[in-house]
Structure 1
Amino acid sequence: MDAGPGRADLLVADGLDVATGTYLTPPRTLGEIADALRGTAAPPPDARRLRRRTRDDERHLGVAVGFDPQDLASVGWGLVTAPGLDPAVLAALEPLVARRRAQAGDRFRHLEVLPGESADELLLRYGALPHVVDPRLVPYYLLLVGGPSGLPFALQYQLGVVHAVGRLDLPRADAYAAYAASVLAAEDRDGAGPGERRRTVRVFGPRHDDDVPTDLSSRHLLAPLADELAATASAWSVASDTGDAATKAALVRVLSEPDGPDVLFTAGHGIGGPQATALGLGGALVCQDWPGPVRQAGPLTPTQYLAAADVVAGVPVRPRVVLAFACFGAGTPRWSDYPDAPGAAPLEIAPEPATAPLPARLLGHPDGGALAFVGHVDRTWSCSFLWRSTVAHVGAFSGALLGLLDGLRVGHALEVLTSRYAALATLLTDRIADAERLGRPFPDADLVALWTAVHDARGFVVLGDPAVRAAPPGAGGLLPR
C-alpha cells in the first residue's frame, strides 16, 4: 500500500490481471478505502487468541516454556485432514508420516476436522485450548493435507496464530509421493554430514518502468534484505537478480540449475483475476519481461511470467525453500479480504478457493522438489515492509530468513511473521474499541494502515511440511546484528 508519485493519498496494491495486462486493483484514494472499511473494519475473528499471544507468549512464540521447537519428540507433529480425503493420498504420504511418527513418538497425532469446524472448536475437541501450545495435547507442528474447500484458509490462519502450520495440496497422489521422497532424501543428506559446497541464498525481483510497487519493493525490501543477509549469515553466499536481471529466463535457471540457491526470496507482482484462476495462472510470478503499466498493450503473455508449466521437467527443483512476496502466490480465496467499495458486498474473486499451481508444481516435482513454499493468500500490500509509506521495516522478513539459514524448522522460523500479525491485530482491536467506547479519534490514515496491514500479515502461509529445514541446524554462521 503506497502513495503514487505526486499523490500522498493514492494507494496502490500489488498484482496484475492476466486479461488486461495491468493492475488488478485500480489506484484508490485513502478516503475511498477508509469509506469502504467504515462499518466493516471489525477485529479479526481470532482477535482474542492474538491478544493472548502478545500478552503471554512473545518470548517463547507458540510453544510453552520447557519444550524444544526443534525437537519433534518434544513438541510433536500432526496431520490435519478433512473427511473424504482420498486414501491414495495418505498412502502416498506414508513414508513421510512414518518418519514423523517415529520422530514425534507419543506426540504424533492425526486430527480430523469436522465440516464447518473452527480452529477453536477443533482444538477443544482434542482437549487443547487456543493459547500457548501444550504439545502433550495437540502437536506444535501441524500439516494440513488437502485443499481450502475442505480445510479453509481461515482455519490455517487461526491455527497458525500459535501452531507452526503448513499445507500440502497437490493435484495427484503421485505428487504427494514425490514430495515425501524429496523431504526424506534431503533429511538423509543432512544426516550424512555437511557437504563441501557453500550454501547460497538468492533474492530475485523485477523493477518495472512507471510501476510504484516494484520500485518500492526493489529499493525498500530486496536491497536492504540482501545487505542484512550478507552481513549476518557468514556461512552463506548471498546473490541477487534484481531489476533488469530479473527476467523469466533467469528465474527458470535459478530454479533448475545445479548451482542454484538453497533458499530463494522473490518480490514482485503475482497474477490474479477470474481468468487467471480458470487458466491455472493464479499466483504466477511476473518477471522483468513485463514492460510496466504504461507500455503494456493488452493481456499478459506467457513470456512475461513464470507459471507452473514453466518449471523444467526432468531435473530437480534446486531451492529447498522458496519465499515469494507476490499477490496470490500461495493461493486465492473465493472472497477477498479487502472491500471493493463503500457498502459493497464481499468481493468474489474466484469460483472456489484454491492453492496456487506454481508452488504445487515446485513441491510435487517428480524429479525432486522444493521442501516448502512460503507465500501469500489474496493480495499483497507494501505495508508488509513500509509503514505509512515512509518507514522501511524488513525485520520480519530478515528474521524469518536468518532462521531458515541457521537451520530452524520452517514453521518455527516463520513464527516471526505470525508475531507481527498478532501485534498489529491487537493494536487494531484496541483502536476500534477506543473509538467505539470512548469516542477517541480514529483517523482515516490510521484505519486504512492498520486494517490493511493486519490482513496482509495474516495472509502469509507455509505450503509443505512445516517441520522441514532449509539447512542443517546451526548452518548459518550467524553474526550479531
Structure 2
Amino acid sequence: MTDEWPRSLAINAWPDEPAAGELGPAARAWILGQGVDDRAREAGLVLAADEPPDPRDWRRADVGWGVVLPWTGGPVADQAALADAPEPIRRLARARADPDGPVVFRYAAEDGLGLLRRVYPAGDHQRVAITGGQTGTGRGQLPAYLLLAGGPADLPWDLQCRLNLSCAVGRLDLPDEALDRYVTCLLSDWADAAACARAPVVWATDSDDITELMRVAVAEQLAAKFAADPDTRDGVRYLRGAQATTAGLLDALAANRPSVVVTTSHGRTGPLSDADAMARDLGLPVDADRQLLDPAALLSAWQPDGAIWYAHACCSAGSDATSRFTVLVPDGSQVAAVLNAVAALGHQVAPLPTALLSAQRPARAFIGHVEPTFDWTLERPETGQLITAATLRALWTGCFQPRPEPIGLAFRQQFTQAAQLFGEAAQTNRNSRPDSAQRRAASVALLTAYDRQSMVIFGDPTVCATALGA
C-alpha cells in the first residue's frame, strides 16, 4: 500500500500515437472535490449535476405547465394570446404565465399526434415533439403538465392518450359558466372546500361477472388500505355487493363529504338500438339493482366540493369514434355489437365527469376510461397475477399524505406502465413465432397497454387531493 498518487494518465484516444501525460497540480483536489478554484469551475471541471427538480412543483421553469388548444389557422400572435379561448382559460393561463407570457401550444391535425405547435406572442411558432425532448417551458421544451382546453372532437382522445405517455395531462371541456366556476376554484386551490381526506368512499358492485374482479383488484385492496391506516380507518365507507346501490352511495357521500371517491361497476352502454339514450347515459355506473347513478340526483344530495372521483367502468370518461378493440372479437358477437355501437356515438364526453366538474361546488378531477376495460387488464390470464398496483398507488400513496401529489403525477406510474407494456409486446412479437405462447402473452400485454393509456383525467392535472391534516 502506498499513499502516493499516480503521476501520469493515459487516455484511449489516438491522435496518431498513444496519448499520455503527467497529472496537473489541481488533479488531487479535483478528484477529491476539494479546493476547486475559479479557473477549474470556469473550465467545467465541477461535474456534479444539478439537483433534479421536484416534479410536484409545476411552477418551476424546468417542470412547467402549459395549455393546449386547437390550431385555428389565424394569426399566430392571436393564438398565443388565446384570443379564441374562453375567458376562464385566458384567466388561468395569465395567472400561470411565464415571464414571457402564457405557455400555449396548439394541436394541428395535419402534424399528426406526435407534434404540438408552441406559439409565441411575437407571431412565430415552433413544432415540438411530444416524446424524447427536454421538459420545461423553454423554447423547444414540453412542460411536465399540460391542460387540454376543449373537447375530443377538436383535441382527440388519441392525442390525450399519446400525451399520457410523456406528460401529466388533464382536460377541461365544460359549459362557460361551469368553466368559470371551476377555474375560480382552481386558482384559489378550493379555498374552504368541505372535502374530507379522512373519510374516503369506496363503492363496488359484485355480480358474479367482471365486476367481482374489479372489486377484488381495485376496490377491495384500496378499502383495506384505508381501513388499516389510522388517518382513515374511522372515516372510510366501503359499500360492496348488495350494499352498492345508488341510494347507499348518495347517503355515504352526503355523510362523509369525501376527498376521494372510488367506484367500480359496469358502465351503461345501452340500449344499443337507441343512440340518443346511449349518449345521454354513457358510462354511468350501474348499481347492484341494475339502476343507473343519476347525475342530477347525485348533485341534489351532495356537492363534490373539491373531491377527486375515480370510476372504473366502461366508457366512464366517454367514447371514441373508432375502437382499438374490434379486431379482438368476431363480427356479430355481443362484445363487437357494444364496441361498434359505442364508436357510432363518435367523440363524446360521458355525463358523469361533466356533471361533477360543472357542479356549483365542483370536483377537482375525475379519472375514467374511454372505451371499455377488460378482465385481462386487471389480472394476467397466464399467471392469475393482479396488475392494478399502479392504480392503487395513485389513489393511495399519491392522494393520502400531508403533501399529496398533483393528480397527473400520481397517475404517471400508470402511464409509464403502459409504455413498458407496449415495449414488451413489440419485443415479444419480433422475437417469437406467431403461434407461440409468447405471442399470446404479447397480446395480453398490448391490450393492457391500450387500456392503461386510455385512462384519462378530467380537470387540471396539477390539482391535489385534500391534504391529510388540512
TM bracket (short chain): 0.7 to 0.9
Match of 2:371 among 355, 375, 378: 378
Residue 375 of structure 1 and its aligned partner are, at CA, apart by 0.3
Residue 260 of structure 1 and its aligned partner are, at CA, apart by 2.0
User: Match for 2:53: what amino acid?
Assistant: F
Rate the CA distance shift 1:216–1:197 in 2: closer, same or farther, 3 A.
closer
Secondary structure of 2:210's counterpart equals: helix
Partner residue of 1:151? 155
Matched, 1:463 2:450: no
Structure-2 separation of matches of 1:414 and 1:380: 17
Partner residue of 1:140? 144
Contact 1:371 1:464 survives alignment (8 Å): yes
Contact 1:123 1:130 survives alignment (8 Å): no
User: Match for 1:202: what amino acid?
Assistant: V
Quote the sequence identity (%).
26
Structure-2 separation of matches of 1:251 and 1:352: 30
Partner residue of 2:250? 252
Partner residue of 1:162? 166
Partner residue of 2:448? 453
Match of 1:82 among 70, 85, 88: 70
Match of 2:315 among 316, 328, 340: 328
Contact 2:65 2:143 survives alignment (8 Å): yes
Structure-2 separation of matches of 1:206 and 1:328: 16
Structure-1 separation of matches of 2:444 and 2:299: 40
Rate the CA distance shift 1:466–1:197 in 2: closer, same or farther, 3 A.
closer
Q: What CA deviation, in whole Å up to 9, does each residue of 1:14-38 have, x standing for no partner?
A: xxxxxxxxxxxxxxxxxxxxxxxxx
TM-score (normalizing by structure 2)? 0.74
Partner residue of 1:305? 292
Partner residue of 1:221? 218
Rate the CA distance shift 1:177–1:259 in 2: closer, same or farther, 3 A.
same
Q: What CA deviation, in whole Å up to 9, does each residue of 1:126-151 have, x standing for no partner?
A: 44561264113221110001111111
| Matched length | 386
Partner residue of 1:429? 426
Secondary structure of 2:111's counterpart equals: coil
Rate the CA distance shift 1:196–1:329 in 2: closer, same or farther, 3 A.
closer
Alignment of 1:111-126 (within 5 A): 111-122=105-116, 125-126=126-127
Partner residue of 1:40? none
Residue 443 of structure 1 and its aligned partner are, at CA, apart by 5.3
Residue 259 of structure 1 and its aligned partner are, at CA, apart by 3.0
User: Match for 2:292: what amino acid?
Assistant: Y
Residue 69 of structure 1 and its aligned partner are, at CA, apart by 1.6
Q: What CA deviation, in whole Å up to 9, does each residue of 1:341-387 have, x standing for no partner?
A: 4589994622421111110110011x111010000010011333312
Rate the CA distance shift 1:80–1:395 in 2: closer, same or farther, 3 A.
same
Structure-1 separation of matches of 2:205 and 2:248: 11
Shifted more, 232-241 versus 258-267: the winner is 232-241
Rate the CA distance shift 1:347–1:430 in 2: closer, same or farther, 3 A.
farther
TM-score (normalizing by structure 1)? 0.72
Matched, 1:369 2:355: no
Partner residue of 1:33? none
Partner residue of 1:51? none
Rate the CA distance shift 1:107–1:413 in 2: closer, same or farther, 3 A.
farther
Alignment of 1:237-316 (within 5 A): 237-255=235-253, 257=254, 259-273=256-270, 274=272, 278-279=276-277, 280-290=280-290, 304-313=291-300, 316=303
Structure 1 runs, 4 residues or longer, greater than 6 Å off: 85-88, 343-346
Matched, 1:184 2:187: yes
Residue 159 of structure 1 and its aligned partner are, at CA, apart by 1.1
User: Match for 1:139: what amino acid?
Assistant: P
Rate the CA distance shift 1:281–1:88 in 2: closer, same or farther, 3 A.
farther
Contact 2:200 2:232 survives alignment (8 Å): no
Residue 450 of structure 1 and its aligned partner are, at CA, apart by 2.1
Rate the CA distance shift 1:360–1:96 in 2: closer, same or farther, 3 A.
same
Rate the CA distance shift 1:93–1:277 in 2: closer, same or farther, 3 A.
farther
Residue 88 of structure 1 and its aligned partner are, at CA, apart by 7.8
Residue 152 of structure 1 and its aligned partner are, at CA, apart by 0.7
Alignment of 1:384-463 (within 5 A): 384-388=377-381, 390-401=384-395, 402-406=397-401, 407-435=404-432, 441-442=436-437, 445-463=440-458
Q: What CA deviation, in whole Å up to 9, does each residue of 1:197-255 have, x standing for no partner?
A: 662222111112xx311122223332122113443574674321111111011223344
Rate the CA distance shift 1:443–1:116 in 2: closer, same or farther, 3 A.
same
Partner residue of 1:36? none
User: Match for 2:368: what amino acid?
Assistant: G
Contact 1:283 1:329 survives alignment (8 Å): yes
Structure-2 separation of matches of 1:431 and 1:398: 27
User: Match for 2:179: what amino acid?
Assistant: Y
Q: What CA deviation, in whole Å up to 9, does each residue of 1:433-473 have, x standing for no partner?
A: 1136xx7834564244223212211111101100111124x
Rate the CA distance shift 1:149–1:198 in 2: closer, same or farther, 3 A.
closer
Residue 186 of structure 1 and its aligned partner are, at CA, apart by 3.7
Structure-2 separation of matches of 1:88 and 1:358: 27
Q: What CA deviation, in whole Å up to 9, does each residue of 1:391-443 have, x standing for no partner?
A: 2233112210120223100100010110221111111111111136xx78345
User: Match for 1:288: what amino acid?
Assistant: A
- Structure 1 residue runs of 5 or longer lacking an equivalent are 1-63, 291-303
User: Match for 1:184: what amino acid?
Assistant: L
Q: What CA deviation, in whole Å up to 9, does each residue of 1:66-93 have, x standing for no partner?
A: 2222112221111101146996852033
User: Match for 1:81: what amino acid?
Assistant: L
Structure-1 separation of matches of 2:453 and 2:388: 16
Rate the CA distance shift 1:422–1:276 in 2: closer, same or farther, 3 A.
farther
Contact 1:229 1:398 survives alignment (8 Å): no
Structure-1 separation of matches of 2:452 and 2:436: 24
Rate the CA distance shift 1:119–1:476 in 2: closer, same or farther, 3 A.
farther
User: Match for 2:67: what amino acid?
Assistant: L
Contact 1:89 1:176 survives alignment (8 Å): no
Rate the CA distance shift 1:94–1:397 in 2: closer, same or farther, 3 A.
same
Secondary structure of 2:352's counterpart equals: helix
Residue 188 of structure 1 and its aligned partner are, at CA, apart by 3.4
Structure-1 separation of matches of 2:199 and 2:304: 14
Residue 314 of structure 1 and its aligned partner are, at CA, apart by 8.5
Partner residue of 2:30? none
User: Match for 2:237: what amino acid?
Assistant: A
